Structure 1
Amino acid sequence: MVDRTRIEHDYPATAQTIWELWTTAAGIEKWWAPDGFTVRVDRLDLRPGGELVYTMTATAPEQIEFMRSAGMPLSTESRKTFTEVDGPRRLAYTSLADFIPGVEPYEFLTTVELEPTDTGVRVVMTVDAMHDDVWTQRLIQGRQNELANLAAVVADR
Structure 2
Amino acid sequence: MPTTSVHTDPEELTMTLVAEFPVPVERLWGAFADPRQLERFWGPPGFPATFTSFDLRPGGRAHYRMTSPQGELFRSLWQVSEVDEPNRIVFRDLFATEDGEVDGSMPGSETVLTFEPVGARSRVTVLTSFTSSADLDQMLAMGMLEGYTQAFGQLDRVLADLREYALGKGTVTDLVDDTHVRITRAFEAPRHLLWRAHTDPELMRRWLLGPDGWEMTVCENDLVVGGTYRNAWAPTGDTAGEPFGFDGENLVIEPERRIVTTERMTGAPFPANVNDLQFDEVDGVTLMTLLITYPDQAQRDMVLATGMTDGMEASYQRLEGEVLTAAA
SS at match of 2:105: coil
Match of 2:139 among 135, 139, 147: 135
| Equivalent position of 1:69 in the other structure | none
Match of 1:44 among 19, 31, 54: 54
State whether residues 98 and 104 of structure 1, in contact with CA within 8 Å, keep that contact through their aligned partners in structure 2. no
| Equivalent position of 2:151 in the other structure | 146
SS at match of 2:156: helix
Structure 1 runs of 4+ aligned residues shifted over 6 Å read none
- The answer to which of 111-120 and 144-153 deviates more is 144-153
1:24 and 2:34 equivalent? Answer: yes
Measure, in 1, the Cα distance between the counterparts of 2:35 and 2:29. Answer: 12
**Mapping of residues 81-120 of structure 1, within 5 Å:** 81-98=79-96, 104-120=105-121
| Equivalent position of 1:35 in the other structure | 45
- String of CA shifts for 1:96-150, please: whole Å, max 9, x gaps: 1357xxx823431011100100131011110124614252252222112121111
Q: Once the 2 structures are TM-superposed, how far is the Cα of residue 75 of structure 1 from its aligned partner?
A: 1.2
SS at match of 2:56: coil
Q: What is the aligned length? A: 142
RMSD over aligned Cα atoms: 2.1
Measure, in 1, the Cα distance between the counterparts of 2:73 and 2:108. Answer: 20
State whether residues 107 and 138 of structure 2, in contact with CA within 8 Å, keep that contact through their aligned partners in structure 1. no
TM-score for both structures, normalised by structure 1: 0.80
Measure, in 1, the Cα distance between the counterparts of 2:93 and 2:119. Answer: 32
Measure, in 2, the Cα distance between the counterparts of 1:77 and 1:51. Answer: 13
Measure, in 2, the Cα distance between the counterparts of 1:81 and 1:132. Answer: 19
SS at match of 1:30: coil
Instruction: Specify every segment of 5 or more residues in structure 1 that has no aligned partner in the other structure, as ranges.
Output: 65-72
State whether residues 43 and 148 of structure 2, in contact with CA within 8 Å, keep that contact through their aligned partners in structure 1. no
**Mapping of residues 72-87 of structure 1, within 5 Å:** 74-87=72-85
Measure, in 2, the Cα distance between the counterparts of 1:15 and 1:142. Answer: 24
Q: Once the 2 structures are TM-superposed, how far is the Cα of residue 57 of structure 1 from its aligned partner?
A: 0.5
- String of CA shifts for 1:26-82, please: whole Å, max 9, x gaps: 1112211211112211000110110110121012xxxx3xxxxxxxx7012211111
Q: Closer, same or farther in 2 for the Cα pair 1:136/1:98, shift >3 Å?
A: farther
TM-score for both structures, normalised by structure 2: 0.40
| Equivalent position of 1:70 in the other structure | none
Identity %: 24
Q: Closer, same or farther in 2 for the Cα pair 1:147/1:81, shift >3 Å?
A: same
SS at match of 2:19: strand
Measure, in 2, the Cα distance between the counterparts of 1:134 and 1:104. Answer: 12
SS at match of 2:65: strand
Measure, in 1, the Cα distance between the counterparts of 2:40 and 2:29. Answer: 13
**Larger helix fraction of residues:** 1
